[in-house]
């Protein structure tokens, strides 16, 4: 199997209206630089917003969604604040200073933090410190994954809008999201991560749950 590496950050948060988001911004990946938004709605509907058919097909073959949408995903950083827009969602995210978890991660030697061995070592303590979080496992699509956390920062501010309507300020993710074998941390957080995905061979166009819109 081919092992793919994604280097970037993941941010997750919920809203008072019951919408929950996991945003990935990938500076380096087999698909270049891109961002995607995983969106779980109050009724449990899981939606993927991805910028290209290629990224949509890969992410949808790895995780579980009820609907997938190919749409431009714009992301920009001004100062400490990130904005992410993927029709019909707009997000504003401001990570704070490194917390205790981030401080502990900084003590781990850099080469180890970026190795799959680190994800294996961190899996058990991560599941105890951050309930629902796993750092290695097999995704719903059958791909094996390793999440190598590099840094952890709580959000000082996060907001979401659906079209022009505010969904409210960032709240804990409750209930946990159900896209894969692991949820994002419950408390709104920005996590610097190197992710490895051992991708199963793909034959032709992959079928995945739900509908696809472009």
Q: What pLDDT does residue 16 have?
A: 96
Q: Is the dihedral of CA 176, 179, 183, 184 positive or negative?
A: negative
Query: What band does 208 get if pLDDT is binned at 50, 70 and 90?
Result: very low
Q: Quick one: what percent of the chain has pLDDT higher than 70?
A: 93
Average pLDDT for residues 87-116, to the nearest whole number?
Answer: 94
pTM of the model: 0.90
pLDDT confidence bin for 163, thresholds 50/70/90 = very high
Nearest CA among 1, 13, 15, 4 for reference residue 166: 15
Contacts of 36 (CB under 8 A, 6+ apart): 23, 24, 48, 49, 50, 51, 55, 59, 73, 86
Asked which of 76-80, 91-95, 126-130, 145-149 is least confident by mean pLDDT, the reply is 126-130
- Domain coordinates in residue numbering, the chain: 2-202
Residue 29 confidence (pLDDT): 96
Q: Which residues have CB under 8 Å from 110's CB, separation 6+? A: none
């Amino acid at each position: 199997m081919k092992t793919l590496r994604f280097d970037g950050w993941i941010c997750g948060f919920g809203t008072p209206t019951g919408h929950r988001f996991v945003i990935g911004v990938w500076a380096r990946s087999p698909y270049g630089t891109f961002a995607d938004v995983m969106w779980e709605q109050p009724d449990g509907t899981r939606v993927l917003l991805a910028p290209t058919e290629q990224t949509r097909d890969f992410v949808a073959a790895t995780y579980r969604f009820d609907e997938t949408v190919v749409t431009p995903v714009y992301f920009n950083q001004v100062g400490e604040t990130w904005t992410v827009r993927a029709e019909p969602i707009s997000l504003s995210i401001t990570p704070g200073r490194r917390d205790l978890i981030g401080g502990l991660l900084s003590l781990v030697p850099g080469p180890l933090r970026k190795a799959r061995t680190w994800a294996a070592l961190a899996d058990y303590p991560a599941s105890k410190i951050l309930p629902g979080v796993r750092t290695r496992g097999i995704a719903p699509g059958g791909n094996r994954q390793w999440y190598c956390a590099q840094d952890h920062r709580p959000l000082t501010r996060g907001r979401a809008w659906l079209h022009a309507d505010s969904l409210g300020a960032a709240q804990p993710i409750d209930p946990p999201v159900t896209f894969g074998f692991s949820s994002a941390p419950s408390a709104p957080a920005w996590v610097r991560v190197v992710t490895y995905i051992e991708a199963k061979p793909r034959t032709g166009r992959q079928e995945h749950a739900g509908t696809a819109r472009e």
